[in-house]
Amino acid sequence: MEIQNIKNRFNIIGNSPALNYALQVATQVAATDLTVLINGESGVGKEVFSQIIHTLSARKHNPFIAVNCGAIPEGTIDSELFGHEKGSFTGAVDARKGYFETVNGGTIFLDEIGELPLGTQARLLRVLETGEYIRVGSSKVQKTDVRVVAATNRDLLQQVQNGKFREDLYYRLSTVPIRVPSLHDRPEDIHLLFRKFAADFANKYKVASVQLNDEAIQLLVGYPWPGNVRELKNIAEQISVLSTDKVIGAEALGKFLQPYPKNRLPVLQSGSGPAGPEFANEREILYKLFFDMKKDVTELKRMFVELLQNPELAATHPQFVHQLQEWRGPNSAELLPANTTPSTTAVATAVSSVPVIHTGYTRTGSTIQEHEEVEESLNIIDKEKELIIKALKKHKSKRKDAALDLGISERTLYRKLKEYDIEE
């Protein structure tokens, strides 16, 4: 089908080469069952491309559903997509079919795919590879024949590097990638779109259609449009309703535009710049700070042990002993007279008088015995048991409140209490 016919059918305005190429790829891939990943900023019209792919496919007479993954709470998204059995969690009073079951034979559009939790990503990968899924709370494997079209406004490769998106799922989804251009990347289409929206709203509100003079057109085209087509449509509607003059100049148009700079500076994305992905967010910055502090403490431990083992080294570095005396306190001057070269005995006395710091070594007489520093337990079961006990104490053994605080069902909490033999 010709690109112009597609535009007419789906009410798409624009002649940008990037837009035409994206439409061409969509029409070519529609006849297949390949998974498609649509990339583009928010407001560019990614859902329209999913409808084009479904309408031009052999599945056009079967169901189509659009799911916003970012709008579904993490605790219920598995149930929404794959269904659940009765009693599988609190509130599951009946069994429920998921979207992959109700849309069997059709197309499911997963918008904002980057918002999916990692656990749900694993389930989705299995559906894409084998067509199999399991309802929440069930052990029965079910089959489905659903074509998946996904969309995102995020850099999924960057999320893969940050450990927030599965690499295998990314490559499985992006069998055929489609890039929908942003509005500021197709300036030749901006005025065309404005005229179309202005005409539509004039007809809707029974008013005369607004026109832009040359200066206003230049301002319109030079505006960065961070909200893309959605923002342009909103501006056209505001002007159509609120403007008393039907010929709009640059000054009047400027009142409706947000005060964004004409040339937008690039936003520093996580993982960009010299710091790399370790500065993805504030939490990771704190983690790095703690790790650096741990390195410093480790180095300090090494220095202390070296002095304890070889006190004569301080004879060539008297500032070490003076520093130790400063840590000792105001009475430390008795340990070593000023302007003297420290002897081995003085060094040993000064070192032994420093407040105790756990270094991973034990001093027994004149010998140093190394022992292993015991780290905090990282066993998942121990941590889970500890959290359950804390939640019960916090809520005075009220299971319902404790389960809510832990983010699990009351049934699951009861099972964990039995499993770990926790007394309430």
**What is the mean predicted confidence (pLDDT) over 314-327?**
54
**What is the mean predicted confidence (pLDDT) over 264-286?**
46
**pLDDT at residue 258, rounded to an integer:** 83
Distance, CA of 48 to CA of 46 (rounded, Å):
5
**Nearest 5°: phi and psi at 259?**
-80, 55
Domain with CATH 3.40.50.300 in the chain: 3-181
Domain with CATH 1.10.10 in the chain: 380-420
β-sheet bridge partners, residue 361? 370
**pLDDT at residue 302, rounded to an integer:** 67
**pLDDT at residue 90, rounded to an integer:** 79
What the block records as the tokens of 411 is 């049934």
Give the CATH fold of the 380-420 domain. Answer: Arc Repressor Mutant, subunit A (1.10.10)
Q: Which CATH number fits domain 3-181: 3.30.70.2170, 3.40.50.300, 3.40.190.10, 1.10.3720.10?
A: 3.40.50.300
What the block records as the tokens of 82 is 């794959």
Of 80-94, 142-156, 269-283, the least confident = 269-283
Burial of residue 295, with CB atoms counted within 10 A of its CB: 0-12 exposed, 13-18 middle, 19 or more buried: exposed
pLDDT at 323 over 90: no
- Percentage of residues of the chain with pLDDT beyond 90: 55
Q: Decide: 38 and 29 in contact? Cβ < 8 Å.
A: no
pLDDT at 148 over 70: yes
pLDDT at 145 over 70: yes
Of 2-6, 32-36, 131-135, 273-277, the least confident = 273-277
What the block records as the tokens of 52 is 């084009």
**pLDDT at residue 306, rounded to an integer:** 67
**pLDDT at residue 109, rounded to an integer:** 97
**pLDDT at residue 93, rounded to an integer:** 80
Alpha helices in 60-136 (DSSP H): 77-82, 99-102, 118-130
Q: Decide: 162 and 280 in contact? Cβ < 8 Å.
A: yes
Predicted confidence (pLDDT) per residue in 166-215, tens digit = 999 999 999 999 999 999 999 999 999 999 999 999 999 999 999 999 99
Which pTM value belongs to this model?
Answer: 0.60
What the block records as the tokens of 37 is 């990943």
Predicted confidence (pLDDT) per residue in 346-402, tens digit = 545 544 544 444 444 444 444 445 544 445 555 677 778 888 888 888 888 888 888
Q: Which CATH number fits domain 184-254: 3.40.640.10, 2.60.40.1220, 3.50.50.60, 1.10.8.60?
A: 1.10.8.60
Q: Decide: 133 and 100 in contact? Cβ < 8 Å.
A: yes
| Element holding 152 (H helix, E strand) | strand 147-152
Q: What residues have CB less than 8 Å from 207, skipping those under 6 apart? A: 201, 240, 241
**pLDDT at residue 376, rounded to an integer:** 52
Distance, CA of 225 to CA of 87 (rounded, Å):
48
Q: What residues have CB less than 8 Å from 382, skipping those under 6 apart? A: none
Nearest 5°: CA angle at 175, between 120 and 162? 50
**pLDDT at residue 396, rounded to an integer:** 85
Task: Assign 97 a pLDDT band (cuts: 50, 70, 90).
Answer: very high
What the block records as the tokens of 243 is 């403007």
Which has the higher per-residue pLDDT, 209 or 412? 209
Residue 398: alpha-carbon gap to chain centroid: 34
Domain with CATH 1.10.8.60 in the chain: 184-254
pLDDT at 327 over 80: no
**pLDDT at residue 326, rounded to an integer:** 52
Helices (H) and strands (E) in the chain, counts: 18, 11
| Mean predicted lDDT score pLDDT of the chain | 81
Rg, C-alpha atoms of the chain:
33
